Amino acid sequence: MTTLPVALTLNAGSSSLKFSLFDISGAPTQMAIGLVENIGKQPRLKADLGEALPAVARELKPEDAVDHTAALATVLALLRGSFPGAKASVVGHRVVHGGPHFAEPMVVTDQVMAELKRLSPFAPIHQPHNIAGIEAARAAFPEALQVACFDTAFHRHHPKANDVFALPREYYDKGIRRYGFHGLSYEYVSGELKRIAPQIHAGRVVVAHLGNGASMCGILGGRSVASTMGFTALDGLPMGTRCGQVDPGVIFYMVQQEGRSIDEVRDIFYTKSGLLGLSGISNDMRILESAGVPEANEAIDYFVFRIRRELGGLAAALGGLDALVFCGGIGENSRKIRRRICDAMDWIGLELDHDRNDKNARVISTDFSRARIMVVPTNEEIVIARAAKRLSAMPEAAAAE
Ligand code: ADP
């Protein structure tokens, strides 16, 4: 049997492991995508294995995904059974935090691994799971190259004024900086703009990544200038369960006046706030859109209000606006939210074409709109697969292993 060179991409969350398989014999093409969710509890496996094979959606035995290592073994059994000729020579990992120095994807050496562990306190909710995913993959594929791709990397060239908080200087040196996240998504969208609309790519673009996690990024000539997320993936826009921007004084109040522990406050900010907290109903935009009750509407009102406000701020940072681009589950699918964000935005040059918006077209602004409005479905996995292929083709990368 001939072997097919493939790259496996992994995105390990707190209780989930998302995976994709790419044929990398030419430009990476996706062969399979899926996830194990509810790891450590009542795990489920879902996978789309391409047109030739049936999709998978089944409950797993708890021991099949008791942790990330077991979940990866389950995924590998599925992929090996489905694609017997495929040989993974490289595994690409989504890693949330690359700290001040990792501005590019890196081959994971022991030294890089040590640095990723050192960065864990910067992203305590995400980084340990990303590291667990890398460790599981290293054990499962000792001979494969492991490549780490960072959500912070796209933003590492922010101008200094947008990299700092107005705290005593020593904190900047300690790494307390405005990192920004969702960088793999922004890199993909920016790359797509370069391909399909090069004159827009060369200009002033705001990308709104609106999913369960949500942020916006101001991009000038393909480079991130400012983003709504800061030191952690908590800042900026309200999200499914995360609060977005709040006055830090609220933390002091909760701790000092309400007697809450820091862990409780963190839990409130990360898991009980955002759309869920405001509505008291759900973190899921589809449910809120169809709920038709004042609490759900208020949560949506706040979401839209913050996006519109940040759009103005990012356009100011860019010195104007040539395009607003939507991506993420809400940005790609919710006509209503896009319409409300763009309503009466002609002052900034945006004029929505309602018909195009209702059809989920790629360009949804009118022909007369001064700035273009677009929908570009994001694909973080392919950014990882491309980096994995690129680094595995570099002799010094192989030597680093
Ligand atoms: P994640 O950040 O977990 O990758 P997604 O990008 O998949 O999240 O986005 C999930 C969000 O997208 C959910 O709030 C979901 O309700 C919303 N969404 C998906 N499809 C639609 C739709 N047709 N209309 C409104 N919201 C949608």
Quick: pLDDT tens for 232-290: 999 999 999 999 999 999 999 999 999 999 999 999 999 999 999 999 999 999 999 99
| Cα–ligand 1 centroid distance for 240 (angstroms) | 9
> What pLDDT is recorded for position 249?
98
CATH superfamily of 4-150: ATPase, nucleotide binding domain (3.30.420.40)
Q: 395: which 2 tokens?
A: 């002799």
Return the ligand 1 atom nearest residue 378 CA.
Answer: 6
Straight-line distance from the first to the last Cα atom of the chain, in angstroms, rounded to the nearest whole number: 28
The Cα–Cα gap between 49 and 6 comes to 14
> What pLDDT is recorded for position 367?
98
> What pLDDT is recorded for position 4?
87
Q: Is-catalytic flag, 151? A: yes
Catalytic residue among 151, 163, 322, 353: 151
Q: Which residues of the chain have pLDDT under 50?
A: 398-399, 401
The Cα–Cα gap between 58 and 34 comes to 12
> What pLDDT is recorded for position 393?
85
Q: Return the sign of the alpha-carbon dihedral for residues 346, 316, 203, 387.
A: negative
> What pLDDT is recorded for position 213?
93
Residues of the chain with CATH 3.30.420.40: 4-150, 190-380
What's the pTM?
A: 0.94
Q: How far is CA 110 from CA 114, 145, 400, 401, in A?
A: 6, 12, 10, 9
Coil vs helix vs strand at 17: strand
Q: How far is CA 168 from CA 171, 173, 176, in A?
A: 6, 10, 10
266 contacts 254 by C-beta, under 8 angstroms? no
> What pLDDT is recorded for position 14?
79
Please state the length of the chain.
401
Q: 231: which 2 tokens?
A: 């030191």
DSSP letter for each residue of 139-206: HH-TTSEEEEEESSGGGTT--GGGT--SS-THHHHTT-------HHHHHHHHHHHHHH-HHHHTSEEE
Q: 226: which 2 tokens?
A: 């400012």
The Cα–Cα gap between 269 and 154 comes to 25
Print the SS3 string covering 201-230: HCCEEEEEEECCCEEEEEEECCEEEEECCC
> What pLDDT is recorded for position 277?
98
Quick: pLDDT tens for 62-79: 999 999 899 999 999 999
Query: What residues does 183 pair with on adjacent strands?
Result: none
Ligand 1, from 14, 275, 276, 285: best to mutate by most atoms within 8 Å of Cβ?
285
Atom 7 (ligand 1) nearest CA: 329
Identify the CATH class of 190-380: alpha beta
Pocket lining for ligand 1, CB < 6 angstroms? 211-213, 240, 284-286, 289, 328-330, 333-334
> What pLDDT is recorded for position 349?
98
Quick: pLDDT tens for 312-345: 999 999 999 999 999 999 999 999 999 999 999 9
